[in-house]
Structure 1
Amino acid sequence: MDKLRLLTPGPTPLPEEVRLTLAKDMIHHRKQGFKDIMFRVQKGLQYLFGTNQPIMTLTSSGTGAMNAAVTGLFSPGETVLVVEAGKFGQRWSDIAQAHKLEVVALPLEWGSAVKPKEVENALSRWSDISGVLIQASETSTGVLHPVQDIARLCSRKGILTVVDGISAVGVSPCPMDEWNIDCLITGSQKGMMLPPGLAFIALSEAALKKAEAVKSQNFYFNLLSEREKCLSGQTLFTPAINLIVALEECLKYFQGHGLEKIYKRQWAMTCMVRAGIDSLGLELLVRENYTWGLTSVKLPPGLDGVKLLDTVASEYNVIMAGGQNHLKGKIVRMGHMGYVDWPDLLAGLHALRSVIIRQGGYSASRDYLEKAMAAYEQAMKDITGNETV
């Protein structure tokens, strides 16, 4: 049996230290030992988020944190601008509408990133907008939005920037304080190299004041109550204890290796996959403003993407993701975030090419693996030409 290679944009493979930690005996979440872990985890999360603000840990999927952000920062009837560049941009709209917010949608072609000028125009046209909801990395397509520029724009206008960093935090730079992000969220199952089940959310001083004014009636996803508990080394309700214990191991990994080095490696793997796909003669869905940690590939006409991924999984033990909504069956999304390395990606490229040819596609390239590896090695060198790892 070939080694299982999980090349999806979440969940992602787990480091051995994390898997071993998950096997430890249970501890109690209201005792001092757990509080000590929470205080250590808090420092690691602040390092990862690039913030001095408290970071709240929720036992939920990333969507739970999205819901907490919308319901905790905005009152029904308020107007928000939503950048809809894919399925998860649309999720912002769905959550906002469920909370009875007025949604100004900024729809984009899937595979396109928003331009700061488009956001500026929308803010000028609708003067009552109080928040912008956006993805850092739109996971359904592999687009990287210019969050820094948009947050700077919103900060000047006194408008909150709420960023879904679920596929960005731990994968590509997204420093909350430096970029003037008011609310940054992420989930455990992607760049953070944990199983699904935890979500994290941090608020700027401006967002905290807004939350205090809103006074959310949420019982479970209550940001003010969670923040108060967070400051005392606790969570509001019973958390996923084993995941938080394992989280400490993940954060040691980030702190031990350093974010700069981890980001460089994630960038190198992105360059690697894109070079391999180009060499195969396949078309990339996103040519500019592409995210790190995920590459979306258009399939040749006539190929069934669902069947292709099933065959890649059954015959090569490589698990990749397909398209969503109108892109289902038309693209393949190869994840390379979290605890993935270059041999995994070589196996993924080989499996993809083999099954495409078998199902009627064509590729004359014989050196696609060599070109992919060369792109990785080049990206791993610094400006002096020295190896960084």
Structure 2
Amino acid sequence: MKRNILLNPGPATTTDSVKEALLVSDICPREQEFGELTQDVLNKVVQVVNGELTHTAVIFTGSGTAGVEAALSSVVPPEGKILILDNGAYGKRAETIIQAYGIPYRTHRLVWGDYPDVDTVEAIFKEDSELTHFVFVHHETTTGMLNPLPELLELCRKYEIDSIVDAMSSYAGLPIDMRELPIDYLISSSNKCIQGMAGTSFVIANKEKLAKTAEIRPRNLYLNLWGNHSYIEKTGQFQFTPPVQIVYALNQALDEFFVETQVGRTARYVKSYETLLDGLEIAGLELLLPKSQHSKLLTAIVEPDSPGYDFMEMHDYFYQNDITIYPGKGAKQDTFRIANIGEIDYRDMLVFNKLLLQYFEDKKIM
């Protein structure tokens, strides 16, 4: 099978065995066999973050945004109010979802690429006693920034604010231990660092907090968190038709994660990141963020100021060589982005570095 090196922030390059897991015999998703598979997948999803004692997973058919919308629309009561951290496109998307449902909110808005100041967030918590929930992105792929998860969670604990963390592009890529970082609702999907196929998202919810949402009148049907959770608890099945083959592939991806281990996966990703940075330095390229703020899963690179540079032309050059690179997304400087997640390693980044230097020399960009 032809292998493409995807350096976009998901869907990511997958193993052949994950692809092969899609090729299963046709099965009705209401059969007990598929129900047992679903339960296994949900248990494994929680085990990735060591949340077995305190958390449960609710799974949805849909992209990561479905999981975000499910959480945001389901957990804030009518008398509640949510604080949104917007320092990238996905914080902004959370705000758009909240606005669509008419949920009371406040936005702490930063320039995309600015690091959140924890003291400023605390001042907002002190000032606004109506706040009950706080949503922020862990790894903001607009810029490759890793927001300060432990510090923000500590504020939530201190002020008794429920935390909603969009961990779409950090779950399974970076260590997250629910025993040490008690996130109330963590959201991710099947096609990022867990290295499955696109098509499902999930919310890993604190069991006690989730149970309290049963008292909130549903704002929707398909994405209601408690409705989906209670249905699968009673029947062992998805409430609505699942993407059967995608669930089989996710199960395979989870098994492969546990074989590699979190330590092993993070180390592989970090080595790829370090290899990438070596190549960028040789090419004379500038990074958008200081290294201390890097997720080490995606890097935003300031576009070179050269008449020979054109992103789409460069994209096509790489695509012809079986590598996908990614454009910028509205950060404070014009960038292109290189992710190093998925079933790739430092050798793939060496290939990228070599092609980048060759392209820059040919176009006289260096």
Normalised by the length of structure 1, the TM-score is: 0.87
Q: 1:238 and 1:277, CA in 2 relative to 1: closer, same or farther beyond 3 A?
A: same
How many positions carry a matched residue from both structures? Answer: 359
Q: 1:58 and 1:3, CA in 2 relative to 1: closer, same or farther beyond 3 A?
A: closer
Q: What is the CA–CA distance in structure 2 between the aligned matches of 1:284 and 1:164, rounded to whole Å?
A: 24
Greater RCO (Cα-Cα under 8 Å, separation 6 or more): 2
The residue number in structure 1 matching 2:25 is: 25
Q: 1:357 and 1:89, CA in 2 relative to 1: closer, same or farther beyond 3 A?
A: farther
Aligned runs of 1:113-152 on 2, under 5 Å?
A: 113-152=115-154
Query: How far off is 1:160 after superposition?
Result: 0.9
Deviations 1:231-263 (A, max 9, x none): 343211110010111111111111122212222
Query: How far off is 1:353 after superposition?
Result: 2.5
Aligned runs of 1:53-64 on 2, under 5 Å?
A: 53-64=55-66
Aligned runs of 1:268-279 on 2, under 5 Å?
A: 268-279=271-282
Q: What is the CA–CA distance in structure 2 between the aligned matches of 1:320 and 1:35, rounded to whole Å?
A: 38
Aligned runs of 1:248-267 on 2, under 5 Å?
A: 248-267=251-270
Q: What is the CA–CA distance in structure 2 between the aligned matches of 1:129 and 1:354, rounded to whole Å?
A: 53
1:307 counterpart = 2:313: yes
Aligned runs of 1:65-144 on 2, under 5 Å?
A: 65-75=67-77, 78-144=80-146
1:289 counterpart = 2:293: yes
Query: How far off is 1:274 after superposition?
Result: 2.1
Contact 1:76 1:100 in 2 (8 A): no
Deviations 1:117-175 (A, max 9, x none): 22111111222111111111001110001112211210221111101111000111122
Q: Larger deviation: 246-255 or 278-287?
A: 278-287
Contact 1:278 1:284 in 2 (8 A): no
Letter in 2 for 1:295: T
Q: What is the CA–CA distance in structure 2 between the aligned matches of 1:360 and 1:118, rounded to whole Å?
A: 45
Query: How far off is 1:355 after superposition?
Result: 2.3
**SS across alignment from 1:129:** coil
Contact 2:268 2:346 in 1 (8 A): no
Query: How far off is 1:177 after superposition?
Result: 4.1
Q: Larger deviation: 215-224 or 178-187?
A: 215-224
How big is the alpha-carbon RMSD for the aligned residues of Structure 1 and Structure 2?
1.9
Deviations 1:51-79 (A, max 9, x none): 12221110000000111011101145642
Contact 2:82 2:106 in 1 (8 A): yes
**SS across alignment from 1:49:** coil
Query: How far off is 1:18 after superposition?
Result: 0.8
Q: 1:77 and 1:312, CA in 2 relative to 1: closer, same or farther beyond 3 A?
A: farther
Aligned runs of 1:181-192 on 2, under 5 Å?
A: 181-192=183-194
The residue number in structure 2 matching 1:347 is: 351
Q: Which runs of 5+ in 1 are unaligned?
A: 363-389
Q: Which runs of 5+ in 2 are unaligned?
A: none
Letter in 2 for 1:349: N
Q: What is the CA–CA distance in structure 1 between the aligned matches of 2:362 and 2:158, rounded to whole Å?
A: 55
Q: 1:98 and 1:349, CA in 2 relative to 1: closer, same or farther beyond 3 A?
A: same
Aligned runs of 1:146-295 on 2, under 5 Å?
A: 146-231=148-233, 232-287=235-290, 288-295=292-299
Q: What is the CA–CA distance in structure 2 between the aligned matches of 1:233 and 1:273, rounded to whole Å?
A: 44
Q: What is the CA–CA distance in structure 2 between the aligned matches of 1:129 and 1:296, rounded to whole Å?
A: 33
Contact 1:266 1:293 in 2 (8 A): yes
Deviations 1:328-372 (A, max 9, x none): 9x322111112112221111222223223333311xxxxxxxxxx
Normalised by the length of structure 2, the TM-score is: 0.92
